[in-house]
Every structure is written in C-alpha cells, then in structure tokens.
C-alpha cells in the first residue's frame, strides 16, 4: 500500500471532464454517455473496449458491445451512447461501470466519464498509481490544470506485460467531495481494497455482472460515507488475486518474458526514450512497483529512470565524476569506470544502452 496516497485524479475540476462529454452531443436525459480518454503516452491508443452500466442494485441498464475493427487513438477521445435496453427501457442512475477489453490492442486510459439521469462521474488513471495497478506517465491534462494525469493499462491478451483485462468501478465512490477524499486518505484500503468500489480484473468478460454494495452506500450532507469501511474485503491492492505486489510482478515476468517480449521488470518498449520537461517525475516512475513503459528522463528533476532495472541516475553535469545519463547523446556514461584498469570494468563501461527513437514532452 502506498504510504502517501495520491488522490489528485479525483480532485480534477469536474467541469473540464464533463465539457468533454457535452461536446460529443450525447443526450444524457435519454441515454447514458460513457467517454473513454486515452493517454498521450507511447502506444496508449488501442482497441475499443466493451462497456456496461448498472444501477445501484447491480442490475444491468445497458451495454456497448464494442467493435472488432474499432480503435481509439493515442491522446484520443471516444464517446459511447448506452440505451437502457436491458432494464425495460427505464432511465436509471449509472452507479456501476464494467469495462472489458475484448480485442488485443492495449489501451492506456487517462479518464472514463459517465453521465446519465442527472448524474455525472469521472474516474482517472491516477487511481492505478494510487492503488498499485499498472500505469505510466501521460502528458494529457484537463481544463485549467497543468498537472498531467497518469494513464492505466488494459489489454485482452496480457501481451507486453499488461495484467488487467478490464475494470469495475462504483461510480459514486469517485465524487470529489473533500470529506470523501479525506476518508480515503485516512485509510487508503477503503479505495484500493474494496472489490465493489474498484477492481482491476486480470480476467473479465463483457457480459459479466458486477459485485455490488448491499445495501447501497449512504452519504452525509458533506459527501462523506456514513460507513466508510463497508465491505472492505481484500488483502491486496487493485487486483483480486494479489498481483498488485512487486514480487508477483517479478514472478509473472519470469514466467512470461520469452513469450511476450517484456524487457526486465517494467519496460515494455526498450527501444524508446521519453524526455519530459513537464510536471512528471522519473524517480516516482522508477520507484513505483507497478509502472510500465519505456525509459524516462525528467529534465527539471535532472533524473533518468532505467525502467529495465527500476533504478534512477542523475543527468550528467559538466564535471560528473560518477555514472550519469548523458542527455545529449541519450546514453549512460561511466567516467570513473572508463579509466579503470580493473578486470572487466572496461567491458562493463562499454555496454551502452541505445534507443531507436525518442519523444520529447
């Protein structure tokens, strides 16, 4: 469990999200609108997911059954209209969402917006970081905020080391009321270890049902939960089977590295380097047990993250004496090793990582 829970993704100003939904011309008085926003991260675009919405009693309202040939671009936005065809046609509040990948092109999602029956909710990829599911930095932000929102990884066939095939969430649990956020900060497992509130599923089918609260949660006038520990039921974060822990990630890679081409523990794109001059942290990326993506340089932080080893190195200054990352040449330097006469040191120093491409954010 992260000692310092980060709930920035819940606190993003709502209007900036919901304006995205309104711009798609969805009449949410008649249907439920669900908008999926992908990250501006490498390979964040992918297959269109299957979606289903449920009422507070766990009864399905309607669903969108995906598109085998459909695609959402990197830094893309796609809105789906879901009619109440599976509950007799009556309007109902969308209290639960099920999202399942069915095709094999992974998505890295920064936000899911759901609106209908005078209710609006927004979930963000920062929840993956908060609750130890797989994530990566993205340069996408919303409204007047200049703080980028992370994206969360999902894939049907688990290629490139991606564990979650889908997601179920209790939408009212992602309101932005300060009293509710404080309850999560006081006890993060209320958010991260509750199957009904949020679960990253390694296996899930589009026609599955959701596990729902019984009775439905009640809230105070300030937005706080009256029973904040209602049905907390897991010993692990994010995933139902404990794969949110670092040791499970290592074990998974050891079993699958040959099959899916994962390089090291956390790098699924070793030929690419990301260089950021924005509000990202290379140290945060390297130190988090469930980050997944290419090597990363944070220029303001003066730090290089080697995602294959999960280790950070300083950027080279003019007279760097120790190992450092040379941003100009985009490779590691070992000044003190190059001049050493110790056996094998020269060979180690010459083992330079190279990149076929790089992106600058």
- Are 303 and 293 a contacting pair, CB within 8 Å? no
Predicted local distance difference test score (pLDDT) of residue 301: 94
Question: Which of 200, 190, 168 minimizes the C-alpha distance to 60?
Answer: 168
For residues 53 and 97, the answer to whether their CB atoms sit within 8 Å is yes
pLDDT at position 199 is: 97
- Indicate the domain borders of the chain: 14-201, 263-360
State how far the Cα of 176 lies from the Cα of 221, in Å rounded to an integer.
Answer: 13
DSSP bridge pairs for 219: 225
* Amino acid 65: pLDDT: 87
Query: Kind of pairing, strands 77-82 and 32-38?
Result: antiparallel
3 state SS of 70: coil
Q: How many residues does the chain have?
A: 361
pLDDT tens per residue across all 361 residues of the chain:
444 456 655 555 444 555 555 555 656 567 899 999 999 889 999 999 999 999 999 999 999 987 778 899 999 999 999 999 999 888 889 999 999 998 889 999 999 999 988 888 999 999 999 999 999 999 988 766 778 899 999 999 998 889 999 999 999 999 989 999 999 999 999 999 999 999 999 999 999 999 999 999 999 999 999 999 999 999 999 998 654 444 444 444 444 444 444 455 688 899 999 999 988 999 999 999 899 999 999 999 999 999 988 999 999 986 667 789 999 999 988 876 555 555 555 555 555 788 999 999 9
Enumerate residues 6+ apart whose C-beta is below 8 A from 169: 96, 97, 112, 123, 197, 198
Output DSSP code: residue 159.
Answer: G
Residue 317: what pLDDT?
84
* pLDDT of 26: 59
36 φ, ψ to 5°? -110, 125
CA distance 269 to 111: 23
Residues 193 and 265: their CA atoms lie apart, in Å, by: 24
CA distances from residue 259 to 20, 264, 271 in whole angstroms, order as listed: 39, 13, 18
**Are the C-beta atoms of 174 and 121 separated by less than 8 Å?**
yes
Which CATH number does 14-201 carry? 2.60.60.20
Tokens of 326: 């040379």
| CB atoms closer than 10 angstroms to residue 218 | 10
């Amino acid at each position: 469990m992260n000692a310092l829970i980060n709930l920035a993704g819940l606190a993003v100003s709502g209007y900036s999200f919901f304006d995205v939904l309104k711009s798609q011309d969805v009449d949410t008085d008649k249907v439920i609108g669900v908008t999926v926003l992908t990250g501006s991260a490498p390979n964040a675009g992918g297959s269109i997911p299957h979606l289903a919405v449920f009422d507070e009693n766990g009864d399905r309202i309607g669903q969108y059954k995906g598109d085998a040939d459909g695609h959402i671009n990197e830094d893309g936005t796609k809105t789906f209209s879901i009619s109440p065809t599976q509950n007799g046609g009556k309007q109902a509040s969308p209290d639960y969402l099920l999202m399942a990948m069915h095709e094999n092109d992974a998505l890295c999602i920064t936000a899911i917006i759901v609106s209908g029956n005078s209710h609006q909710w927004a979930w963000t990829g920062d929840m993956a970081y908060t609750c130890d599911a797989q994530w990566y930095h993205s340069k996408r932000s919303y409204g007047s905020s200049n703080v980028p929102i992370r994206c969360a990884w999902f894939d049907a066939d688990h290629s490139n080391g991606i564990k979650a095939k889908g997601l179920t969430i209790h939408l009212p649990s992602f309101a932005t009321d300060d009293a509710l956020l404080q309850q999560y900060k006081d006890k993060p497992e209320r958010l991260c270890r509750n199957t009904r509130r949020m679960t990253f599923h390694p296996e899930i089918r589009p026609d599955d049902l959701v596990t729902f609260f019984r009775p439905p949660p009640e809230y105070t006038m300030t937005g706080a939960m009256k029973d904040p520990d209602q049905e907390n039921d897991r010993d692990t974060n994010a995933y139902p089977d404990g794969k949110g822990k670092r040791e499970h990630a290592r074990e998974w890679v050891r079993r699958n590295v040959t099959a899916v081409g994962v390089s090291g523990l956390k790098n699924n794109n070793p030929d690419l380097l990301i260089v950021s001059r924005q509000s990202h942290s290379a140290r945060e990326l390297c130190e988090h047990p469930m980050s997944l993506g290419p090597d990363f340089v944070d220029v303001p932080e003066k730090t290089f993250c080697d995602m294959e080893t999960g280790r950070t190195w300083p950027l080279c200054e003019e007279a760097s004496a120790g190992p450092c990352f040379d941003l100009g040449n985009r490779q590691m330097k070992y000044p003190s090793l190059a001049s050493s006469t110790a056996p094998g040191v020269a060979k180690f120093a010459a083992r330079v990582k190279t990149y076929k491409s790089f992106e600058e954010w």
